[in-house]
Structure 1
Amino acid sequence: MNSARYAYTFVTLPYSGKPTEAPTADYITGTEEIVQYLVNKMKEYNHVQGRNITMDRFYTSLSLADWLFTEVNATIIGTMMINRKGIPAEVKPTAGRDEFSYEVYWNVENQQMSLHSYMYVVRTKSTGPRNVLVLTTMKPILGTTTDGGKHKPAIFKLYDFTKGGTDIVDQRMQTYTTKAKSNRWTMVAFYYLLDTCRVNAQSILSMNQGLDPRKASSFEFGWDLVESLVVPYIQQRPTVGLPTSVLRKMKFFTGEPVPRERIALAFDKVGSRKRCTTCVDDSHGEGHKKEKPSKDDIAVPNVWKDNLQDPLSHPMQILRIRICIKTLKHDCHHTHGQINNTL
């Protein structure tokens, strides 16, 4: 159930399918029972008396309109299916009626309830006359509007005006939704709750600031919401060992230069050549991202690890030995095997 004037959801009920075990009190079957459940839930937090509820033809029925008017003291406006129980037979036929004709029927027992019938012709693939019904327990606004020469009844225009709140909520949810593809219905319901909370929070903030919720920017509110949730964790995150790309993204969110602690190297950098894996691990601190081994490293036979004292004894004709530069200078802190300086 949403507000008719701005994007705000009062109460909702996700449909999770038929339970495999014994159903609980939250498992509701039937369209009329669903509306009654939502109205009773809303009565726990808001005043429903004296309000009007607009619904589409999937929920509208004569018994539901009578229950809302007598038990809840709330009115209803809703389009209605022509095969609903209780509709008079003389209202259903379309033969003999002119296009844009308008008829009104009142309930004998409840003079407040009225049924409005409007005839128009569809000129598309489904060509033919259409009998549109609207049921209401409000004091009907009789008369028609010009509406481009269609002479649409005024009660239909009121239905369009009060039904816009649901469309606005759906539009704002779909524009910047958190929904992701998932086969688990629990995640789908969770994504819907996140979108509903975001839209409700935006409308509440706009009204507290004296702004029109319908003119508020969803992008600006969503960006401020993301920053308020993410920035505190970014500021607490240690920057030791993080690559420059991640630090740049952190700076983008915080808006401040992210200090990067310089790690003291155990050995000086030797020229522009790369150092061996052992030197890199010892010179960099914990958390350093290791590079993937190259094809040359993978191609080196494992037998060399045991024959480093005499690598030329290997029967291969071409030998590719990666030697640490510091080994030749006799200043490396570790031993790469006993290799002659003549190499």
Structure 2
Amino acid sequence: MEKCQRHYTPCEHLCIDEQLLAFRGRCPFRMYIPSKPAKYGMKMILINDCKTKYLLGCMPYLGKDQTRLTPGIGLGHYFTKELTQPYHHTNRNVTTDNWFTSVGLVTDLLENCGMTMVGTLKANKRELPDKIKSKEDREPGSSAFLFTKEMTLVSYLPPVRNKAKKLVLLLSSMHSQPTIGEKGKPEIIEFYNSTKGGVDAFDEMCELYSCNRKTKRWPLCIFYLMVNVAVINANVVYTANLERTGGTNVPKRRRFMLHLARTFIRPWAQKRLSADTLPRPLKTLISTVCNLPSVANTQYPTGQVLAQCTYRQVRCAECPRSTDRKTRIRCLKCQRPVCQSHYYPTCTKCIELVTRRI
């Protein structure tokens, strides 16, 4: 996380949300969230750049550990302040959902951290007056505003013509005017909709092209997340540098991942190909996948038809000396003399393949 923050400067809008890592093994902090696609897993709190979806920070949710909290501060307040610490006093804005948002957090970020905040708010907060939470005598599509010196609260009733009308409450320290957009929604809601998807889009990118494998060990699950984060962040930095220098051939993320993976495994693959004990089919597979010449096959001589062997007759190296069995056949790899009982023939296609690589 320190390197991710060091090598990238985010835009003016950040987003904080939760991600659920799919995990069904035994873990003391595994959670069940029915609204998530994985449902069971480990909860991670992420902060992303709203524009490029670059991951800037990540913290695991380990439960309600009161030893880390100061009195009067909830978990949402704690995670938001910790994740935004590298960007304090930069006048950036943070977008959160109702699990994080509170009046105390908005005030703390504005007065002590030099940052603004926009987020949805739960209706059970004590700071909200009953008038702003009431749906009576409210027309569908109407908005009600409350103002203080630092914050703006909007209560929006969606234009739904049924009894299940639900108020949308948003708190903002960035907006100070009751502006209504072209679609009839308050400006605060339109801004929230445009910046809330940073973490969700990043989560979708992790699920689309992922290196995850089934495992029952939670440290390995965290390692898979680290690899996914490194690949996505590297792709964002590479694309930004390419556009900055005038490049037009921006590769797709899938091709970028394949190229990155082959670049990392090629040195280890070359080292494995030089081992004499590695089976030949495995060497062929490594050479094909990594586009490498087989080191072991380059030591083979050109294939020769068995009937045309012109070597002088010598004793077979595999048979006992007492048998005194003579042969003209040589091993294709080590050139040891072997009789027909210890000779394993090769088809013409394999001989042509070995000859071509030589």
TM superposition score normalised by structure 2 = 0.63
Structure 1 residue 115 and structure 2 residue 153: aligned? yes
Q: How far apart in 2 are the matches of 1:141 and 1:161?
A: 18
| CA shift for structure 1 position 184 | 2.6
Give the deviation of 1:30 after TM superposition: 1.8
Decide which of 51, 62, 80 is 1:5's aligned counterpart: 51
Amino acid at match of 1:186: P
CA distances 1:56-99 after superposition (whole Å, capped 9, x unpaired): 11100101000001101110011111112311111111122111
CA distance in 2, matches of 1:185, 1:29: 26
Q: Please identify which structure carries the higher strand content.
A: 2
What percentage of aligned pairs have identical amino acids?
Answer: 25
Give the AA of the match of 1:181.
Answer: K
CA distance 1:23–1:134, shift in 2 (3 Å): closer
- Cα 1:23–1:285, aligned 2, differ >3 Å: closer, same or farther? farther
Aligned to 2:129: 88
Alignment of 1:166-315 (within 5 A): 166-210=199-243, 217-237=252-272, 238=274, 240=276, 242-259=278-295, 260=297
Report Cα offsets for 1:195-240 as digits up to 9, x if no partner: 112211111122222269xx86220221121011101111222253
**In the superposition, relative to structure 1, how do residues 164 and 140 fare at CA in structure 2: closer, same or farther (>3 Å)?**
farther
Amino acid in the other structure paired with 1:228:
T
Distance of 1:224 and 1:103 partners within structure 2: 53
Seen in structure 2, the aligned counterparts of structure 1 residues 207 and 2 have a Cα distance that, compared at 3 Å, is: same
- Contact 2:146–2:152 (CA<8 Å) still a contact in 1? yes
Matched letter for residue 90 of structure 2: Q
Q: Structure 1 residues 251 and 69, CA, compared in 2 at 3 Å: closer, same or farther?
A: same
Q: Distance in 2 between matches of 1:112 and 1:29?
A: 21
Change (3 A) 1:29 1:232: farther
The verdict on how the C-alpha distance between 1:246 and 1:35 changes in structure 2, with shifts beyond 3 A counting, is: same
The Cα shift of 1:256 comes to 4.0
With over 3 angstroms needed to count, the CA separation of the structure-2 counterparts of 1:140 and 1:164, relative to structure 1, is farther
5+ residue gaps, structure 1: 271-277, 287-323, 328-343
Residues 6, 168 of structure 1: 8 Å contact kept: no
Letter in 1 for 2:60: P
Structure 1 CA distance for aligned equivalents of residues 92 and 158 of structure 2: 31
Q: Which AA in structure 1 matches 2:287?
A: K
In the aligned structure 2, how far is the partner of 1:24 from the partner of 1:156?
A: 33
Distance change in 2, residues 1:158/1:56 (3 Å):
same
Give the aligned partner of residue 106 of structure 1: 147
The 5 Å alignment of 1:55-70 reads 55-70=96-111
Q: 1:143 aligns with which of 142, 158, 179?
A: 179
- Say if 1:101 and 1:113 are closer, same or farther in 2 by CA, change over 3 A: same
**Structure 2: gaps spanning 5 or more residues:** 1-46, 308-317, 320-330, 343-358
Partner Cα distance (2:262, 2:54) in 1: 23
1:29 is displaced (CA, Å) by 6.6
RMSD of Structure 2 on Structure 1 (CA): 3.5
Higher CA-based Rg: 1
Q: Count residues in correspondence.
A: 260
Query: Could you say what secondary structure the match of 1:145 adopts?
Result: coil
Structure 1 residue 14 corresponds to structure 2 residue 47: no
Shift of the 190–254 alpha-carbon distance from structure 1 to 2, 3 Å rule, reads closer
On the 8 A contact 2:88/2:115 being kept in 1, the answer is: no
Post-superposition shift, 1:121? 5.4
- What is the CA-CA distance between 1:49 and the residue it aligns to? 2.5
Q: What is the identity, as a one-letter code, of the residue corresponding to 1:14?
A: P
